[in-house]
A and B are shown apart, each in its own frame.
Chain A
C-alpha cells in the first residue's frame, strides 16, 4: 500500500517536473556521429584486451596454461569452456588460430605495423 502511494507521489512529481527524470537509453548514447569502428578496437592488442585474450604469449606458455586449465575445468562439468568456435578467453592462444581468428571474426582490426617511415628510411640508408 505504502509503495503504491509512494509511486503515485513520484508520478505526480515527475509530471510536474519537480523530480529529475532519468535519461532514456537513446539520450544516454547520444546521437553524434562517430566512426563505426572506434579507435579502441583498431589493433590486435586492444581487441585482445577487450576480449581478455593474451595475444602475445609464446606457444609453450600457452600450452602450459592450457594444461592447467584443462585440469582445473574438466570437460564434463564445464562444457561452455570447451567450446572451440568462440573466443574462449583462456583456451585461445595457438598462433595459427590467433591469426585466423582476427581475419575471420569480421572485426578487422587495423594491424599496427612495427615499421614506420622513419625506421624504414634509416634501414635503407644503413645497408
Chain B
C-alpha cells in the first residue's frame, strides 16, 4: 500500500535514527544550554548575545544535518524520478519526519524538543541544500514547527502526519488489547489538547508584539483535527460490535474527550474572531459527521453540522425543526454548540444565522424546563447573535455566502413563536440580564409578525 521508495526511505531513516538524534543533542555540548533550557518557554530569546561557541555549534549542526540528509537520499535513482513524483514523495516523507519530531524529546526533558534546538542555535528559516540535479535544487528549511522539503526554494508550511497513524486503529483486537489501546488513545488526545494550548499561547504572546501566525495556526489545527477525526471514526467502527461494560464506558469517555478537544480548536475562531479557511471547515464537517454516526440523537452535533454546511453555502436543513415537536427524551444535547455557531457565523447569510441562534435558544429552554433559564445561557444566546457583526470584513478568508433558504414559512413562524413564549414565561428578569433581554426582544420583534 505504501510506496516502496517511501518505505525504503523510512527504513534507512530507522537505521540511521541514532545519528540524527546525536545531531539534535549537539546543544548539550555547550554549558550555556542548560540555563537556556531551564528558562525556555517556547519563544526564542529576543536579543541573545551570540557567543562564539554557539555560532560554531550552529555551523556544525547545519553541516551534520546536510550530511545526514545527503546520505539518506544518496540513491541517485531517487532524483531521476519525475518531478511531480519526487514532490509527492518528499511531501509524504516530510509528514512522517515531522510526526517523529513531534514525539521526540531529548534528555528525558519534555521541554527539549526540536523547537528548542532551533531557537537555541537561532536556525529558524535556515535553508540547507541537499542535492542538485539538472538545475533543480533540493533543499531543506529548518523551522520551529519542523522540517520543510523544498524544491528550488519553494516554501510551504511543514505538514505533519496525523498522530492516529501510529496507533494501529483496528477493530479486530482482543478485549485486553482494545482496553489498553483506548486508554492510550485517551492519553494521546490529552497530549494533542496540550500541544494545541501550548502553541496557541505562544501565538498569543507573539501577537502582542504584532506578529500574526495565521498559517501556522491553520496547519496545527489541520494536524490536530485530522487525528481527532480519525479517532472518532475509529470508535464509530468499534460501536458496531457489542463490547463489555468496561470498554463501552472507556469509549464513551474517549468520545467526550474528543468533543472537548474540538471545542478547544473552535476557540480561536469564536473568541479571537479568526476566520478559518474552507479546508478546516471540511475537516470539522468530517468530525461532526463521525460524531453524528456515533450518537445519532445528538442535536448539538446536528446544529454544528448545519453551521458548517451553511459556511459552505448550502441550504438550511428542515430536519432541525423536528425539535419543536419532539419529546424531550427523543433528542440529546451533549455539548454546547454556541462556540461552533459563533466561529462560522461570519460566512453565512443573516437569515441562516438567526435561524441557528433561534434553534439554539429553543434547545437551551427545552433542556432547562421546568426551571427558568440560567443567566449565562441567556447571555450565550445574545452573544451568538451579536458575534456575526464582530468579525472584521478585512480578515483573511472572509467570504460571505448568500445561502438559499427553503424552510417553509409556517416552520419559521412556529420557531419564533415558541421562542417568544419561552422568553415570556421561562426567563428570570434581573438587572444584569435586562439589556440582554431587551436586545433579544428586539430581535424577536424584528422577525415575528
Q: Does B60 contact A (CB under 8 A)?
A: no
Chain B nearest CB from A82 CB (Å) reads 22
A48-103: which residues lie under 8 A (CB-CB) from chain B?
Answer: 58-60, 94-96, 98-99, 103
Specify which of A59, A98, A125 is in contact with B14 (CB 8 Å cutoff): A125
Give CA–CA (A117, B257) in the complex, Å. Answer: 24
Q: Does A119 contact B (CB under 8 A)?
A: yes
Specify which of B96, B190, B249, B253 is in contact with A124 (CB 8 Å cutoff): B96
Q: Of all chain B residues, which has the CB nearest A57?
A: B246
Give CA–CA (A110, B187) in the complex, Å. Answer: 10
Chain A residues lying within 8 Å of B126, measured Cβ to Cβ, are: none
Contact at A110–B110, with CB atoms within 8 Å?
yes
Specify which of B14, B103, B194, B257 is in contact with A115 (CB 8 Å cutoff): B103
Specify which of B2, B166, B191, B250 is in contact with A111 (CB 8 Å cutoff): B191
Stretch from B5-13, B71-79, B385-393 forming part of the interface with A: B5-13
B138-194: which residues lie under 8 A (CB-CB) from chain A?
Answer: 161, 163, 165-168, 179, 184, 186-188, 190-191, 194
Contact at B7–A117, with CB atoms within 8 Å?
no
Chain A residues lying within 8 Å of B249, measured Cβ to Cβ, are: 58-59, 94-96
Give CA–CA (A98, B190) in the complex, Å. Answer: 13
Q: Does B245 contact A (CB under 8 A)?
A: yes
Chain B facing A: main interface SS: helix
Contact at B17–A121, with CB atoms within 8 Å?
yes
Q: Does A20 contact B (CB under 8 A)?
A: no
Q: Does B331 contact A (CB under 8 A)?
A: no
The listed residue with most B CB atoms (<10 A of its CB), out of A60, A103, A111, is: A111
Total chain A interface residues with beta-carbon distance under 8 A: 26
B229-283: which residues lie under 8 A (CB-CB) from chain A?
Answer: 244-246, 249-250, 252-253, 256-257, 260
Contact at B2–A95, with CB atoms within 8 Å?
no
Contact at A120–B166, with CB atoms within 8 Å?
yes
Give CA–CA (A96, B103) in the complex, Å. Answer: 26
Q: Does B36 contact A (CB under 8 A)?
A: no
Also in contact, A124 and B187, with CB within 8 A (given A59-B245, A59-B246, A60-B245): no
Give CA–CA (A68, B244) in the complex, Å. Answer: 21
Give CA–CA (A69, B191) in the complex, Å. Answer: 34
* In the complex, per-residue mask of B191-212: 1 if CB is within 8 Å of any chain A CB, else 0: 1001000000000000000000
Q: Does B400 contact A (CB under 8 A)?
A: no
Specify which of B7, B96, B166, B250 is in contact with A119 (CB 8 Å cutoff): B166
Chain A nearest CB from B230 CB (Å) reads 14
Chain B nearest CB from A117 CB (Å) reads 4
Chain B residues lying within 8 Å of A103, measured Cβ to Cβ, are: 260
Q: Does B443 contact A (CB under 8 A)?
A: no
Chain A residues lying within 8 Å of B253, measured Cβ to Cβ, are: 95-96, 98-99
B1-30: which residues lie under 8 A (CB-CB) from chain A?
Answer: 1-2, 7, 10-11, 13-14, 17
Contact at B14–A127, with CB atoms within 8 Å?
no
Chain B residues lying within 8 Å of A123, measured Cβ to Cβ, are: 165-166, 168
Contact at A113–B245, with CB atoms within 8 Å?
no
Q: Does B335 contact A (CB under 8 A)?
A: no
Also in contact, A124 and B165, with CB within 8 A (given A110-B110, A117-B100, A117-B104): yes
Contact at B188–A127, with CB atoms within 8 Å?
no
Also in contact, A121 and B14, with CB within 8 A (given A59-B246, A95-B250, A115-B166): yes
Chain A nearest CB from B429 CB (Å) reads 30
Chain B nearest CB from A109 CB (Å) reads 9
Chain B residues lying within 8 Å of A95, measured Cβ to Cβ, are: 249-250, 252-253
Q: Does A122 contact B (CB under 8 A)?
A: yes
Q: Does A22 contact B (CB under 8 A)?
A: no
Contact at B186–A116, with CB atoms within 8 Å?
no
Specify which of A58, A113, A120, A124 is in contact with B191 (CB 8 Å cutoff): A113
Contact at A124–B99, with CB atoms within 8 Å?
yes
Q: Does A112 contact B (CB under 8 A)?
A: yes
Also in contact, A124 and B250, with CB within 8 A (given A113-B187, A115-B167): no
Also in contact, A125 and B7, with CB within 8 A (given A111-B191, A113-B187): yes
Chain B residues lying within 8 Å of A106, measured Cβ to Cβ, are: none
Give CA–CA (A95, B186) in the complex, Å. Answer: 11
Chain A nearest CB from B123 CB (Å) reads 20
Chain B residues lying within 8 Å of A124, measured Cβ to Cβ, are: 10, 96, 99-100, 161, 165-166
Contact at B250–A113, with CB atoms within 8 Å?
no
Q: Does A17 contact B (CB under 8 A)?
A: no
Chain A nearest CB from B216 CB (Å) reads 22
Chain B residues lying within 8 Å of A115, measured Cβ to Cβ, are: 103, 163, 166-167, 184, 188
Q: Does A25 contact B (CB under 8 A)?
A: no
User: Could you jot down 10 A-B contacts, CB within 8 Å?
Assistant: A58-B250, A99-B190, A110-B110, A115-B166, A115-B188, A117-B105, A118-B17, A121-B14, A123-B165, A124-B96
Chain A residues proximal to chain B, CB less than 8 Å: 58-60, 94-96, 98-99, 103, 110-125, 127
Closest 8 pairs between A and B when the two form their complex, measured CB to CB: A58-B246, A95-B253, A59-B249, A117-B104, A111-B190, A123-B166, A120-B166, A117-B103
